[in-house]
Amino acid sequence: MKPRVCCDRLDMLLADAGEKLFSVIANGTGPRRGFFLQARPLDRDVVLPSRATDAVEPSLRRGDGRPASIAVVMELHLSFCPSCGRDLAAWVRAHAVEFDALAREGAPHIMKTPGAG
């Protein structure tokens, strides 16, 4: 059973990790533990063109005709629950073991930076 952090809405956001639209992911170890709000405007299985210039809609070009870059995953560190306002950093400090279990579930969904694993 997953540890309870605060409210039903955060439970749902944690359960939606890696899915389209908004989710919350636990990530990090030691002093870098934290919750992240993740936004995905596209489904995970959408295949983007290998070269942006090949198949980008005209509306996704800059004024000079160059293709616009598109962020397909965005993450924001959360200090407080976006639904009920609970102090998430305090919860993490008091529940390291439970947090680490959530972080293991969230790990496959964390945004990868270029050049990272």
Contact footprint for Zn ion (CB under 5 A): 6-7, 10, 81, 83-84, 86
What b-and-e string marks burial along 45-75, b requiring 16 or more CB atoms within 10 Å of the CB?
Answer: eeeeeeeeeeebeeeeeeeeeebeeeeeeeb
CB of 79 to Zn ion, least distance (A): 12
CB-wise, 61 or 95, nearer to Zn ion? 95
CB of 71 to Zn ion, least distance (A): 26
CB-wise, 9 or 66, nearer to Zn ion? 9
CB of 89 to Zn ion, least distance (A): 13
E-state strands within the chain: 21-27, 34-40, 74-78
Using alpha carbons only, give the angle 44, 50, 53 rounded to the nearest 5 degrees: 120
CB of 81 to Zn ion, least distance (A): 3
CB-wise, 15 or 84, nearer to Zn ion? 84
CB-wise, 11 or 61, nearer to Zn ion? 11
What is the C-alpha separation between 92 and 23, in angstroms, rounded? Answer: 18
